[in-house]
């Protein structure tokens, strides 16, 4: 089976970030052109499980025998069996064991969370896989609100589900396969940010656009928004770093301190997401301004939760001053990215001016991308000519490879890869 590559996209939340964590409905769409790629191949050394995560300058090797000892401890008191059965919650005793025995040396936060996500999934899904190397690269900005954490969780869950024999499909993924990947990537998201709603991993697994809701019993419910309209928009990246985990826990503090103030705000966001989904299902000239209005209101409510940032307000203020449309933060906020939905009559010159002011004055980047499209996918490198496989492996293993190069060789019309999904 080895070598193979898995992949999963990022996402944009259009309505309902943060309130989604409190079981309110939310709307998100995949960003198929911004993706994480994970190469699984034989390792260089026997008895090792190696991680090569160049985007965050993280390279790590565990001896398989060392992991195996931890697995034996976890199996002895039925801990692992329990953890494998529960895809709604992390097993705290297993977390403690992994932290003590396998993650103790990792102090840097990005490294710790990526390794934690990896090792929890590994011991649950494919503990016997040895002499193996995982190289992971993404064209998504990390910690920017576009769901890089969910895309790595999905790419890892798909790879480990294949390695552990939980997914046997060699052609397209079945709906049971996707359900399995979605449940385990939710656990991966839990390792990275604590209390995810599950919207990001659902979109990274299934692709397309969804109206999502987590139920009180922990199950998730989502409907695809079919024929998702092409909306003129600009995605701006402030490059201001932040952590979803921290922002989500700040919101929790506020909600716990002032429940009578914040619970209605979260519910209001949920109503807004439902109304927004109705508009998106049937977007036309008459309701287009309603869409702009709801985006504006959603941002205002997010500001009241304390998750904006002066750097995001710069984008909002410029788009308001230029009368371009409505801007809201997207994802957890606190920096990261914003989404500007453009009015219908905005000209290319206005867009150019907006982008160049943001670039020159603030060093912000913008992404031109469509929403929707393919969710998680995989491809075997045995299915392509060896010379192409060598090039692709080298790109995925390299310390640095530009985003354009990754996209060109792995996910463009020029790529030799035929993804299965």
Ligand X SMILES: C[C@@](O)(CCOP(=O)(O)O)CC(=O)O
d(CA 415, CA 398): 18
163: tokens are 């390695």
User: Which listed residue (173, 192, 235, 273) binds ligand ADP by CB under 6 A?
Assistant: 192
Residues 266/18, Cβ–Cβ less than 8 Å: yes
Q: How far is the CB of 337 from ligand X (least distance, A)?
A: 9
User: Which of these is catalytic: 55, 177, 200, 275?
Assistant: 200
144: tokens are 């920017």
Q: How far is the CB of 53 from Mg ion (least distance, A)?
A: 16
Residue 372 contacts ligand X per CB under 6 A: no
Binding track over 308-347 against ligand X, x by CB under 6 A: -----------------------xx---------------
- Indicate the residue among 18 and 80 with the shorter CB distance to ligand ADP: 18
Which residue, 151, 159, 153, 152, is CA-closest to 126? Answer: 159
User: Which listed residue (24, 55, 200, 275) binds ligand X by CB under 6 A?
Assistant: 200
Residues 273/26, Cβ–Cβ less than 8 Å: yes
- Indicate the residue among 26 and 381 with the shorter CB distance to ligand X: 26
Kind of pairing, strands 209-214 and 233-237?
A: unpaired
User: Which listed residue (5, 8, 14, 20) binds ligand X by CB under 6 A?
Assistant: 20
Residue 244 contacts Mg ion per CB under 5 A: yes
Q: How far is the CB of 380 from Mg ion (least distance, A)?
A: 29
d(CA 142, CA 132): 25
Residue 149 contacts ligand ADP per CB under 6 A: yes
Torsion of CA 180, 141, 31, 302, to 10 degrees: 90
Count the residues of the shown chain that bind ligand ADP, applying the rule CB under 6 A.
23
Choose from ligand X, ligand ADP, Mg ion, none: what does 199 bind? Cβ within 5-8 Å by kind: ligand X
User: Which listed residue (141, 145, 270, 372) binds ligand X by CB under 6 A?
Assistant: 145
Rg (CA), the chain: 21
Q: How far is the CB of 121 from ligand ADP (least distance, A)?
A: 13
Which residue, 355, 317, 334, 368, is CA-closest to 248? Answer: 334
70-129 binders of ligand ADP (CB under 6 A): 110, 113-114
Backbone angles phi, psi at 141, to 5 degrees: -70, 145
Choose from ligand X, ligand ADP, Mg ion, none: what does 142 bind? Cβ within 5-8 Å by kind: ligand ADP
Residue 197 contacts ligand X per CB under 6 A: yes
d(CA 125, CA 154): 13
d(CA 345, CA 324): 9
User: Closest residue to ligand X, Cβ-based?
Assistant: 331
Residue 143 contacts ligand ADP per CB under 6 A: yes
- Indicate the residue among 8 and 79 with the shorter CB distance to ligand ADP: 8
- Does the annotation mark 200 as catalytic? yes
Q: At what angle do helices 92-101 and 109-125 cross, to 10 degrees?
A: 120
Residue 193 contacts ligand ADP per CB under 6 A: yes
Residue 142 contacts ligand ADP per CB under 6 A: yes
Q: What angle do CA 418, 179, 2 make, to 5 degrees?
A: 40
Residue 334 contacts ligand ADP per CB under 6 A: no
- Tally of helices (H runs) and strands (E runs) in the chain: 14, 12
Distance of CA 84 to the CA centre of its chain: 22
Q: Which stretch binds ligand X (CB under 6 A): 14-22, 52-60, 253-261, 402-410?
A: 14-22
- Indicate the residue among 197 and 366 with the shorter CB distance to ligand ADP: 197
Q: How far is the CB of 17 from ligand X (least distance, A)?
A: 4
Residue 275 contacts ligand X per CB under 6 A: no
Q: What's the sign of the alpha-carbon dihedral 36, 367, 335, 292?
A: negative
**Secondary structure element (H or E) that encloses residue 106, with its range:** none
User: Which listed residue (243, 298, 308, 338) binds ligand ADP by CB under 6 A?
Assistant: 243
Query: Counting every residue, how long is the chain?
Result: 421
User: Which listed residue (6, 52, 149, 340) binds Mg ion by CB under 5 A?
Assistant: 149
- Indicate the residue among 14 and 279 with the shorter CB distance to ligand ADP: 14
Report how far apart, in Å, the C-alpha atoms of 367 and of each of 7, 34, 156, 252 are: 20, 10, 25, 31
Neighbour count for residue 391 (Cβ, 10 Å): 14
Q: Which stretch binds Mg ion (CB under 5 A): 98-106, 115-123, 238-246, 285-293?
A: 238-246
352-391 binders of ligand ADP (CB under 6 A): none
Q: How far is the CB of 195 from ligand X (least distance, A)?
A: 7
d(CA 205, CA 211): 14
Which active-site residues does the annotation give?
A: 200
């Amino acid at each position: 089976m080895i070598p193979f590559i898995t992949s999963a996209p990022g996402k944009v939340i259009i309505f309902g970030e943060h309130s989604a964590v409190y079981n309110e409905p939310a709307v998100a769409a995949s960003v198929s052109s911004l993706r994480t790629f994970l190469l699984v191949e034989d390792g260089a050394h026997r008895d090792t499980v190696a991680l090569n995560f160049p985007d965050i300058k993280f390279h790590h090797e565990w001896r398989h025998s060392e992991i195996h000892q931890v697995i034996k401890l976890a199996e002895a008191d039925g801990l692992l069996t329990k953890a494998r059965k529960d895809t709604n919650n992390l097993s705290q005793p297993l977390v403690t064991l992994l932290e003590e025995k396998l993650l103790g040396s990792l102090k840097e936060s990005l490294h710790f969370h990526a390794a934690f996500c990896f090792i929890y999934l590994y011991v649950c899904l494919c503990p016997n896989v040895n002499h193996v190397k995982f190289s992971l690269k993404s064209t998504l900005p990390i910690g920017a609100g576009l769901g890089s954490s969910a895309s790595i969780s999905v790419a890892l869950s798909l790879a480990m589900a294949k390695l552990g024999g939980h997914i046997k499909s060699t052609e397209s993924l079945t709906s049971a396969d996707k359900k399995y990947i979605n449940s385990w990537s939710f656990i991966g998201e839990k390792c990275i940010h604590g209390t995810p709603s599950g919207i990001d991993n659902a979109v990274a697994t299934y692709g397309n656009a969804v109206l999502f809701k987590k139920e009180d019993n922990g199950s998730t419910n989502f409907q695809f928004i079919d024929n998702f309209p092409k909306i003129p928009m600009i995605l701006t990246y402030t490059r201001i770093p932040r952590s979803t985990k921290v922002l989500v826990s700040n919101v929790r503090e506020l909600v716990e301190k002032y429940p009578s103030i914040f619970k209605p705000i979260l519910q209001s966001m949920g109503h807004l997401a439902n109304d927004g989904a109705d508009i998106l299902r049937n977007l036309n000239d008459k309701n287009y301004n309603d869409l702009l209005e709801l985006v504006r209101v959603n941002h205002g409510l997010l500001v009241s939760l304390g998750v904006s940032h002066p750097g995001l307000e710069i984008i909002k203020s410029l788009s308001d001053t230029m009368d371009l449309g409505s801007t809201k933060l997207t994802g957890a906020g606190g920096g990261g990215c914003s989404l500007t939905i453009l009015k219908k009559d905005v000209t290319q010159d206005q867009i150019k001016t907006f982008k160049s002011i943001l670039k020159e004055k603030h060093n912000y980047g913008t992404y031109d991308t469509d929403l929707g499209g393919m969710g998680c996918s995989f491809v075997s490198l045995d299915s392509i000519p060896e010379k192409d496989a060598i090039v692709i492996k080298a790109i995925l293993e390299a310390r640095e490879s530009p985003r354009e190069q990754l996209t060109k060789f792995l996910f463009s019309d020029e790529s030799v890869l035929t993804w299965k999904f």
